[in-house]
A = this chain, B = another copy of it.
Amino acid sequence: MANLKGVHFMLPTPFHDDGALDLDSFDALIDCAAQTHCVGVVCLGVMGEAARLTDAERALVTERVVREAEGRLTVTVGATGAATDAGVQRAREATDLGADALMVSPPPIPKQNLDAVSAYFHAVADASPLDLVVQDYPAQSGVFMSAAFIARLTEELPTAHWLKLEDPPTPPKVTAVRTLAGDRLGVFGGLGGVFLLEELARGACGAMTGFAYPEALVETQRLMDAGDADTAADHFFRWLPLIRYEAQEGITLSIRKEILQRRGILSSAKVRHPGAAIDAATRAEMHALVDRIAGEA
């Protein structure tokens, strides 16, 4: 069992301005994660635009991330498939390429059908010995999993030691899941980190999210772990205006890539179409807010 407790930097997939994959920029992203004391990185998630990559591009991304992170950070690879076979195949590929853990969300199903969801997770878990992070993100997957279902599913699956909980309101669901599953299931926050403070207070073991200043989340968790909830709150709330700003529905990724470009980590803020780009006023707002928040931090 991998030790994934802590903050994981959810990697965007870098593109050149023409939309071509920019593998080289992964190095700076991973350096950023290492320097900010993240415990790991996650690639090929929703915010990695995984759905906009070809199968070949997926493999290139995994290879590069694994190679660059090796010995420094754990690598969790998104292996969600549009069907069970695809999920199994992606799980195998990530395993073969050297991932440390898999992140898997329910497949698209036309109607709420938890038996089908369960069968899918079993098939994926059977296909790889790696730790499995179950992703609970109904706004993306269309599947609602109750705390009771999650507890039962992760008990059945020998490798499902982790949950990425992105079903708001997240603080009460952290409590509900932990009440049922106890310490055998590590719960990560996500959703840009907007409720990280409360998630940690409820017993979350870290976060998997792509906020462009992971150091803010790492320090929040360090202070919470040190028992200094009050200073943690001070710290977190200082960053909150920017965390909130980045987490805007529909343009999160574009804002995030703009910030990462400003930080010198990405060479381009390109998001593949029809992913939304931000307008000039939003870019200006972002810069002013970063000046204010990241300057004083």
Residue positions of A touching B, CB distance < 8 A:
19, 49, 51-52, 54-56, 82-86, 89, 107-114, 116-117, 119-120, 123, 138, 144, 146, 168-169, 171-172, 175, 194-195, 198, 201-202, 233, 237, 240-241, 244-245, 248-251, 272-276, 278-279, 281-282, 285, 292
Contact of A282 among B171, B237, B251, B272 (CB under 8 A): B171
Q: How far is the CA of A195 from the CA of B117 in the complex (A)?
A: 28
Smallest Cβ-Cβ distance to A251: which chain B residue: B169
Nearest-Cβ distance from residue A221 to partner chain B, whole angstroms = 17
CB pair B168 A273 closer than 8 Å: no
Contact A244 B194, CB 8 Å, known A84-B274, A86-B54, A169-B251: yes
Contact of A240 among B89, B237, B285 (CB under 8 A): B237
CB pair A272 B54 closer than 8 Å: no
CB pair B285 A201 closer than 8 Å: yes
CB pair B198 A85 closer than 8 Å: no
CB neighbours of A275 from chain B (8 A):
83
CB neighbours of A82 from chain B (8 A):
51-52
CB pair B55 A56 closer than 8 Å: yes
CB pair B116 A273 closer than 8 Å: yes
Nearest-Cβ distance from residue A56 to partner chain B, whole angstroms = 7
Nearest-Cβ distance from residue A101 to partner chain B, whole angstroms = 23
Smallest Cβ-Cβ distance to A272: which chain B residue: B83
CB pair A55 B52 closer than 8 Å: no
CB pair A273 B172 closer than 8 Å: no
Q: How far is the CA of A278 from the CA of B110 in the complex (A)?
A: 16
Nearest-Cβ distance from residue A274 to partner chain B, whole angstroms = 4
CB neighbours of A146 from chain B (8 A):
113-114
Nearest-Cβ distance from residue A78 to partner chain B, whole angstroms = 14
15 A-B pairs within 8 Å (CB atoms) are namely A51-B82, A54-B86, A55-B55, A83-B275, A110-B250, A111-B138, A111-B144, A119-B274, A168-B248, A169-B249, A171-B282, A172-B251, A172-B278, A172-B282, A240-B240
CB pair A274 B171 closer than 8 Å: no
Nearest-Cβ distance from residue A111 to partner chain B, whole angstroms = 6
Smallest Cβ-Cβ distance to A114: which chain B residue: B146
CB pair B273 A120 closer than 8 Å: yes
Q: How far is the CA of A285 from the CA of B110 in the complex (A)?
A: 24
CB pair A54 B237 closer than 8 Å: no
Contact of A273 among B83, B194, B198, B276 (CB under 8 A): B83
Q: How far is the CA of A84 from the CA of B111 in the complex (A)?
A: 25
CB neighbours of A201 from chain B (8 A):
285
